[in-house]
């Protein structure tokens, strides 16, 4: 079966490499496995979940265009013999990509690594440059920009009906963010990774070696990726929120002309998506921690601006 699939890409399978751990979230597709072909190259074969094919095809097209525009290190899917990035076989959809080198960062100590923050910022700037000349239709095919105020309002209504105790703890944070969320539609947009944080980046001992898990790519506020990254690192504790990685990420972007003034508000606002994820998983411990984190962020927006030396 594996060999039949690789034949679609004019490849011949030699062996399945179950000994290779695959980075990133296994939930992004129905199945994935590392396969070594007869030339010795290790590839990642994915079987897509129902309904994923068209969007994943569009993402692969954008990634290919970014690479053509000079973006290095990002995941690159391989076109099949017909030039399609999604292959159909026996009623299922598949994608194939070379296995990127590298592994996850060491935790928790990586939160203090300023060089990682600088490298994360440099990739975002490289992606911004590569995306600048992409055809509008290519980006539009990824879908409309995220409407976070509507998302947060829907989340609030859902928990009001199903989780009253969560609703009671969530609403003070949303009330503090309300003036910012009213201005969300006016924020400048750019192409974003959509789930950018250190665990979706592959690392050597001293550099970024790859960026994976692009399934949430699309047009979003230009600070979206930096905010998600800072928020994810900061979720490991107060020291991590103002540690070397986050500080270097912010300062590198700011020194290169990015307006970071609203970063604290965007960081806090994006945590509503993470709260929704913990609710979906019924992870009570993470729900509790996320609500505490959101409260701490929204109570300290100006303090964060000072701690991050924004402005």
Q: Please check the confidence at residue 1 and state whether its pLDDT lies above 80.
A: no
Find the helix packing angle between 148-162 and 164-182, rounded to 10°: 160
Q: How far apart are CA 98 and CA 145, in angstroms?
A: 30
pLDDT per position as a tens digit, 25-80: 888 899 999 999 989 999 999 999 999 999 999 999 999 999 999 999 999 999 99
Mean of pLDDT values over 95-113: 96
Strand-pair category, 42-47 with 31-37:
antiparallel
Domains (range + CATH), the chain: 2-98 (3.30.200.20), 109-307 (3.90.1200.10)
Q: What is the pLDDT of residue 2?
A: 83
Q: How far apart are CA 37 and CA 98, in angstroms?
A: 11
Mean of pLDDT values over 187-206: 97
Mean of pLDDT values over 289-295: 98
Token output for 187: 């924020």
Provide the whole-model pTM. 0.95
């Amino acid at each position: 079966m594996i060999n039949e699939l690789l034949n679609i890409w004019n490849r011949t399978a030699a062996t399945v490499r179950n000994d290779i751990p695959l980075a990133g979230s296994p939930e992004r597709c129905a199945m994935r496995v590392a396969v070594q072909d007869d030339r010795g190259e290790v590839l990642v074969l994915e079987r897509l979940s129902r309904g994923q094919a068209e969007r994943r095809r569009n993402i692969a097209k954008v990634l290919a265009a970014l690479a053509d525009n000079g973006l290095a290190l990002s995941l690159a899917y391989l076109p099949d013999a017909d030039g399609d990035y999604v292959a159909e076989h026996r009623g299922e959809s598949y994608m194939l990509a070379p296995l990127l080198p590298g592994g996850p960062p060491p935790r928790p100590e990586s939160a203090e690594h300023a060089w990682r923050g600088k490298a994360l910022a440099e990739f975002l700037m490289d992606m911004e440059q590569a995306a600048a000349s992409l055809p509008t239709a290519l980006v539009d095919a990824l879908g409309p920009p995220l409407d976070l105020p509507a998302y947060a309002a829907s989340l609030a209504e859902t928990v009001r009906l199903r989780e009253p105790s969560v609703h009671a703890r969530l609403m003070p944070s949303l009330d503090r963010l309300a003036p910012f969320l009213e201005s969300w539609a006016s924020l400048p947009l750019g192409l974003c990774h959509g789930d950018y944080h250190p665990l979706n980046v592959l690392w050597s001992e001293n550099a970024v070696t790859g960026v994976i898990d692009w399934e949430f790519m699309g047009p979003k506020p230009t600070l979206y990726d930096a905010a998600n990254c800072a928020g994810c690192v900061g979720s490991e504790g107060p020291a991590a929120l103002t540690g070397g990685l986050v500080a270097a990420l912010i300062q590198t972007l700011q020194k290169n002309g990015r307006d970071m003034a609203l970063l604290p508000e965007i960081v806090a606002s994006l945590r509503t998506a993470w709260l929704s994820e913990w609710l979906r998983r019924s992870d009570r411990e993470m729900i509790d921690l996320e609500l505490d984190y959101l409260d701490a962020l929204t109570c300290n927006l100006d303090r964060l601006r000072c701690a991050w030396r924004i402005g």
